[in-house]
Amino acid sequence: MSSAPHNPAVRALVEAVNRGDRDAFMALLSPDAELTDDGTPRQLEEWIDREIFTSNGHMDVHRQNGDGTDLTVRYRNDTWGEMNTRWHFTVTDDGRISRIETGQA
């Protein structure tokens, strides 16, 4: 069963992914936002285009921590199919996401 993340910025990011709305996704990030995939730093815009927006990425949230910044997600896209993934988001005081850490769960 999918549930909405408790954190407003993270919830908006998941919704942007599921709508395929790259502009809304990017608007939620701080200017210096970083991304890692299985611990390896990635070029954020290149990664999201390949793994999310050109491959119809979709997130079904299954578990989250109390503040909604750590998620376990059933993630799917046209490239890799479906898999369990973990996502950690660092959210700044002004409500923007400055870091995304993802990988297989």
Where do the domains of the chain lie, and which CATH numbers do they carry? 8-104 (3.10.450.50)
The pTM score is 0.95
Predicted confidence at residue 2, as pLDDT, reads: 62
Using alpha carbons, select from 98, 82, 103 the residue that is nearest to residue 7: 98
Q: In the predicted model, what is the mean pLDDT of residues 74-100? A: 97
Predicted confidence at residue 3, as pLDDT, reads: 80
Three-state DSSP at 99 gives: strand
Q: Read off the pLDDT of residues 7-62 as tens digits, 9 standing for 90 and up.
A: 999 999 999 999 999 999 999 999 999 999 999 999 999 999 999 999 999 999 99
Q: Are strands 40-42 and 58-64 parallel, antiparallel or unpaired?
A: unpaired
